[in-house]
Amino acid sequence: MAIVPPTRAGIATEMPRSTQCKRSSQLPRKVGMRRSLQHSFAAAAVLLAAAAGALRAEAGPGRWKWWQSEEFQHDLNLAPEQVTRLEQVFQESLSGLQAGKRDLDRLEGELSTLIADAGATEPQVLKLIDRVEASRSVLGRTRSLMLFRMYRVLTPEQRVKLTALHEKWDREHHEADKRPK
């Protein structure tokens, strides 16, 4: 197995050498389709995450319910059933996200303490690093699955509009960051 360079979402994947080619036009059909699906999913996850981040302040501390924003509902032309389904997906994922975050925070605290311990050995640190990264992976998987399920609620047209809304928000906030303070 060889590591494929990270995708735009920052996730590296492994692929058997037999399916690796020098040019994408030489990729076997299934691998090319799989990559296309991976890129589509990664883009959707990034867009949904960005939209969530954009409305975090509006929704209040710790809340990221962009689908409940009147602006997003109007701009995306979300049907009441879609808003309900998006909320349902979020609620179904919430306990797993919260438990995963608590576990990750606890393990990161333990790792910080162990690293600061002068008597810690490298094998002890490596073992705890593995546990931290496994916890981070579980949390990321739970979050990505939630975003994927949310993405599936939207129509193709709404996905395009969501992309445009994200780009608009991104431009506005990057311009604000560039202004002298």
Residue 65 placed within a domain: yes
Res. 32 pLDDT band, cuts 50 70 90: low
* Overall number of domains in the chain: 1
Residue 64 placed within a domain: yes
For residues 120 and 54, the model is more confident at 120
Residue 154 placed within a domain: yes
pTM of the full structure: 0.61
Residue 63 placed within a domain: yes
Residue 178 placed within a domain: no
pLDDT in tens, 97-109: 999 999 999 999 9
- The pLDDT > 70 percentage for the chain reads 62
Residue 126 placed within a domain: yes
Task: Show the domain range for 77.
Answer: 2-163
Nearest CA to 147 out of 56, 11, 69, 43 is that of: 43
**DSSP one-letter string for 39-105:** HHHHHHHHHHHHHHHHHHHHH-TT---GGG-HHHHHHHT--HHHHHHHHHHHHHHHHHHHHHHHHHH
Residue 38 placed within a domain: yes
Residue 180 placed within a domain: no
